[in-house]
Amino acid sequence: MSSIIVELQSGPRYFTRVADDKFSPFDARVLATYRDYIITSPNADFIPEPFVFDEALIRPHRDGRLGVYDCFQWPQLHCDIYMWAGCIPREDTYRDNVIWKWCWWNVTQKPEDFTQEVGSTFEVGRVHREKYQRLNSVYVDLQERVQSWKKRDTRYTGPLKVDAWMGAVARTFERLKRFMAR
């Protein structure tokens, strides 16, 4: 069961999901009410205070997902009670940066992005060595920044698991390296 938001029914009726019965103990691990909404989650042990935009239109976002206002995009202000909301870099800020502009590279099936596999019936291929090296330069720069930050802030005990994240990025680049054109 995915997380759901259900508008409360007027009157003495039970809170229900569309075409479903009453809530049962196994519908959610946590349930919270916020204004006229019930919010549940099957696996979280808390529900942060939500942003509910009344009468807002659902529309497509640049990332291809649908939703109302994307309050976790820009501008972003830090708020301690929403520290779990990650910072999302803005493409405009890094457009002229030789290294960081590669974070917004849209992979396509164009010949400048891939070398088609010889003898392949399908249009599949390997990423060009140059593209891999440019993406890898982002990782190298990020690794240097992380090491510099760790030296400056040796007492950090917050929720960020930087070493785990960097390990995941390193493993991703190792997998991508296997698909690099020779």
Q: Is 30 helix (H, G, I), strand (E, B) or coil?
A: strand
pLDDT tens column, 57-86: 777 766 667 777 665 565 555 566 666 555
Buried b (16+ CB within 10 A) or exposed e, 28-38: beeeeeeeeeb
Query: Which residues 6+ apart lie within 8 Å of 82 measured at CB?
Result: 48, 49
Please tell me whether the overall predicted TM-score, pTM, comes out greater than 0.75 for this model.
no
pLDDT tens column, 115-144: 888 888 877 788 888 888 998 999 999 999
Give the pLDDT score at 84: 58
Give the pLDDT score at 162: 85
The whole-angstrom separation of Cα 23 and Cα 21 is 7
* Spans of all domains in the chain: 89-178
Beta carbons of 68 and 58 less than 8 angstroms apart:
yes
Looking at the DSSP bridge assignments, the partners of residue 70 are none
Give the pLDDT score at 144: 94
